[in-house]
Structure 1
Amino acid sequence: MCPLPAGLPLPGGPMIRAGRRWAISDTGIAVILGLVSVAVVIGIARDPVDVPLNGVFMPLILGVLLLSSRTLPWFAAFVLVTLSVGTWLQETWTTRMFTAVVVMYALTIAVIVVARRRSQLGVGPTRGETMLVDLRDRILAQGEIPTLPDAWLVQSALSSAGGSPFAGDFVVATTSDHGKRIELVVVDVSGKGEAAGTRALQLSGAMGGLVGALSPRQFLPAANDYLLQRHWEEGFATAIHVSIDLESGAFELRCAGHPPAVQRHAGSGRWQVLRAEGPVLGIVDDVDYDCYAGRLDPGDSLLLYTDGMVEEPRKDIELGIDRMMGTAEALLRHTWDGLADRLVDAVGSPDDDRALLVVHRRP
C-alpha cells in the first residue's frame, strides 16, 4: 500500500494541500459558514438588541454561491435551526421583525427544495457556471482556424439568438493530408440559443474527430450515422462541408440540407451559387451526398453560412442570399480584415443563430 504524500490529510478533511496551494473543500466551507451562524446566535444570546437576527441568514447566501447541491440542503437545514434559536432568543417583537423572520424561513425552505432538485448535478451555481463557460469555449475551439499558408485567408464569425453565449450553429476547422488540405464544416443544429447549445457541444466534438479522420466523401455519411444513433428528440442538423487543396485551390463541396455556398470569381467579379444536394443529418439512413467539384483561383472567395444569415419571415431565401452577396461585395471594397464579423453584423436576423465562414485565396 502506497503511503500518502507528506502534507496531505486523510480524504474528507476540510483542507487539501497541492504543492504550496491550499484549497478548502466543500465540507470545509460549510463548517466555516456554520461557525459564523453559531457566532451570530451567541451574539444574539449576549446582546439580543444590538445583534441583528438577519446575521444568521448571511452565511446561507454565501452557501448558495459556494456550496455544492449535495451539501447545501444540509447546511440550509442547519441555518434553519440556528434561525429558530435566534428567533427564540429575541426579547421584543415588532410587525417588521415578524415579517422578516417569516421571509427568512420561507427563503431557507426554498433553498432546501431547489438544492435537492439540483442535487443530481452535484455542483454549486458558481462552479456550474464555470463549467458552462468551459463547455462554450470548447465549442468555439473546434472552429479555431489552423495556421495556413500565406496565400490563404479563412475567417469565421458566430452570433447567437438574443446575444446568448450558447448557440446551435458552430464551425469545425482542421487540416488534413499533412497540412495540404483544409477541412471546413458549418453546422446548424435544430433549435436555437441555449436550447440547442448542449446538442451543438456534443455534435461539434464528434464532427471534430470525424472530419480529420475520414475522407471528404465519408464525412457526412458518418455524421449522419452518428446523429441517428443518438436518438435525440430533435435529432437533426444541417451541415455543409468543403475540403480544399491548399496547393491547387481545387475543392470538394458537400451539403446536407444546408443553404448553398456562394463563390466570388475575382476575374469577373460575379457571385455564383454552388448547389450540392443531400438530405439533412439524422433523418434518413444510408444516404449519399452529391459532390460539387470546383476551384478557387487566386483572388476568389467562398462563403459558407447558416440559414440565420439569409432567412427572414415571409421572404424567399433566394432574396436573402442575393442580399448577403450584395452586402459582402460592398464590404469588400474597404478591406478583408474582419469581413466575417462585419458581414454577420450587417445581415441576418438577430433572433436566430448565425454562423459564417469566409475563405479567400489571395492573388
Structure 2
Amino acid sequence: MSSSLERHPSALARAFDRVSSRLVPRGSRIATVLVVVTVLVGVAIWQVPDFVPLVSLLLPLVVSSLLLGPRQLQWFVVFVLLVLALVVTSQDPGPRVISAVVIMFAIGLMFLVSSFRRARLGVAGMQGEMMFVDLRDRILRQGGIPELPNQWYVDAELRSAGGTPFAGDFVVATEVDGRLEVVVVDVSGKGQAAGTRALLLSGAIGGLLSALPPAEFLPAANTFLIRQDWDEGFATAVHLSLDLATGRYDLRTAGHPPAAALHAGSGRWEVVETEGPILGLIDDVVYEGVSGQMLPGDALLLYTDGMVETRTRDIGLGIDRMLGQAERLLRGGFEGGATRLIEALGSRNDDRALLLVHRR
C-alpha cells in the first residue's frame, strides 16, 4: 500500500505538469488556479476520504465550464477525470462510490462535448453569454424612441413567445431632418429561433432607415434580405415616416397587418389599408405608400400579427378586437397605452410588437 501511495501522488504531479504546460503559456491565471485547486482537492480526497467526498471534484469542473475558453476547458476536463481515476483507488469499493464515479464521468463528458461546441464560437461560457446580452441590449436600444417635441408621445412594447428579449419582432426608430422614421418588423419564425436573424436584420434596418429617403427604404430592405439567402429569409414590415412639424405622414407595408388610426374628431379607430409584398421574396418591388395627417388628439397603432392573429381567430376578427380594446383602454389617456394593449391582446405563443404614436 505504501508504494501505491507514493506512486499515485507522483502521477498527479506529472499530470499537473502536462496540463500546466498546455494552459499557462496561454496566460490564463484562472486555468492555473483551477489546476492547483484540483490537485489539492485530489490530495485531500486521497488522504482523508472520510471527510472529503469524491464529488468535491465537481466544484472546479463547474467553475471551469463558466470561466475557461473552449480549448482550455477540453484539457482541464480531461485532467479532472484523470485525477478522479487516480484518487478513486483510495475509496472503499461500493455502490455509492461506483455511482458517484459514473455520474462524475458523465458530467465531465457533457462538459467536454460542450467545449467542442463552444470551440465554434471561440469564447468561454460567461463571455459568450455576455456577448448575447450585449447584442440583446443593442437591439433593444435600436427600438428606443428618440427624444421628440413635447406635442408627440411615442411608445413601443415587445413581447417574446419564449419570454426572453430575443424575438423575431422588433422596432427600429430614428429622427432624420425633423422626421420620425420608424419601422416595425416581424421576422419569419418566433422566439429564439428567429432572434438571431432579427439581430442581424435590425442592424441593417437601422442603417437603411437613417440613410435612405422614405420611399427607398422598403425596396432596399427587400434587396438586403434576398441577398442573405436564408432558409427562412423573409419578413414583414410596416414603415412610418412622420413629419414632426406638420403631422403629415407616409405609411408603407410589406406583407404586414395594416396600421390603425384614431381620428380625434370622430373618436373612432379605423384601419389604414396599405399593400406590398413580403420582404425577401420578390426582387425589384415598388412599395406604394398611403399619406395622411395627424391632427392634435389623433393616434396611430403599428403592430405585428401576434397582436391580432391566433390559431383559432382570423386576423380580421383580431384587428376588430384590437380596435375595440384600444378604444376602451386608451380612453383615459395614452401614457403607458402600449403596455396596456400588449398585455390585453395577442397570443402568448407568438412574438408581439406594438408601437403607439399620439399627437397631443
TM-score normalized by the length of structure 2: 0.90
1:113–1:265 distance in 2 versus 1, CA, 3 Å = same
1:291 corresponds to which of 284, 289, 292: 289
How many Å separate the matches in 2 of 1:303 and 1:128? 37
1:185 corresponds to which of 183, 186, 191: 183
Is the CA contact (8 Å cut-off) linking 1:331 and 1:339 kept in structure 2?
Answer: yes
Is residue 65 of structure 1 aligned with residue 66 of structure 2?
Answer: yes
Q: SS at 1:251's partner residue?
A: strand
Q: SS at 2:113's partner residue?
A: helix
For each residue in 1:278-308, what CA deviation from the matched residue of structure 2 results, as whole angstroms up to 9, or x when unmatched?
1000000000001101100111101100001
Residue 50 of structure 1 aligns with an amino acid whose one-letter code is: F
Partner residue, 1:118:
118
Higher helix share: 2
Note the C-alpha offset of 1:26. Answer: 7.2
TM-score normalized by the length of structure 1: 0.90
Is the CA contact (8 Å cut-off) linking 2:219 and 2:287 kept in structure 1?
Answer: yes
How many Å separate the matches in 1 of 2:50 and 2:313? 69
How many Å separate the matches in 2 of 1:98 and 1:312? 52
Is residue 359 of structure 1 aligned with residue 360 of structure 2?
Answer: no
Partner residue, 2:3:
none
Is the CA contact (8 Å cut-off) linking 1:37 and 1:55 kept in structure 2?
Answer: no
Residue 292 of structure 1 aligns with an amino acid whose one-letter code is: V
For each residue in 1:228-268, what CA deviation from the matched residue of structure 2 results, as whole angstroms up to 9, or x when unmatched?
11000000000000101111111011110100001100011
How many Å separate the matches in 1 of 2:151 and 2:223? 36
Is the CA contact (8 Å cut-off) linking 1:26 and 1:71 kept in structure 2?
Answer: no
Partner residue, 1:171:
171
1:315–1:213 distance in 2 versus 1, CA, 3 Å = same
Residue 28 of structure 2 aligns with an amino acid whose one-letter code is: T
Is the CA contact (8 Å cut-off) linking 1:190 and 1:236 kept in structure 2?
Answer: yes
Unaligned runs of 5+ residues in structure 1 are 1-11, 16-24
Partner residue, 2:32:
31
Q: What is the RMSD computed on CA atoms of the aligned residues?
A: 1.8
Alignment map for 1:58-97 (pairs within 5 Å):
58-90=59-91, 92-97=92-97
Is the CA contact (8 Å cut-off) linking 1:184 and 1:241 kept in structure 2?
Answer: yes
Is the CA contact (8 Å cut-off) linking 2:23 and 2:32 kept in structure 1?
Answer: no
Partner residue, 2:228:
230
Residue 197 of structure 2 aligns with an amino acid whose one-letter code is: R
Q: SS at 1:57's partner residue?
A: helix
Unaligned runs of 5+ residues in structure 2 are 1-21
For each residue in 1:207-227, what CA deviation from the matched residue of structure 2 results, as whole angstroms up to 9, or x when unmatched?
101011100000000000000
Return 168-177 or 106-115, whichever deviates more: 106-115
Return 31-40 or 62-71, whichever deviates more: 62-71
Partner residue, 1:252:
250
How many Å separate the matches in 2 of 1:295 and 1:75? 65
Q: SS at 2:326's partner residue?
A: helix
How many Å separate the matches in 2 of 1:316 and 1:43? 67
Is the CA contact (8 Å cut-off) linking 1:26 and 1:67 kept in structure 2?
Answer: no
Residue 174 of structure 2 aligns with an amino acid whose one-letter code is: T
Is the CA contact (8 Å cut-off) linking 2:298 and 2:358 kept in structure 1?
Answer: yes
Partner residue, 2:327:
329
Note the C-alpha offset of 1:95. Answer: 1.8
How many Å separate the matches in 1 of 2:311 and 2:112? 45
Query: Would you say how many aligned residue pairs link Structure 1 and Structure 2?
Result: 339
Identity of aligned residues (%): 56
How many Å separate the matches in 1 of 2:45 and 2:272? 77
Note the C-alpha offset of 1:329. Answer: 0.8
Q: SS at 1:162's partner residue?
A: coil
Return 26-35 or 48-57, whichever deviates more: 48-57
Q: SS at 1:83's partner residue?
A: helix
Partner residue, 2:134:
134
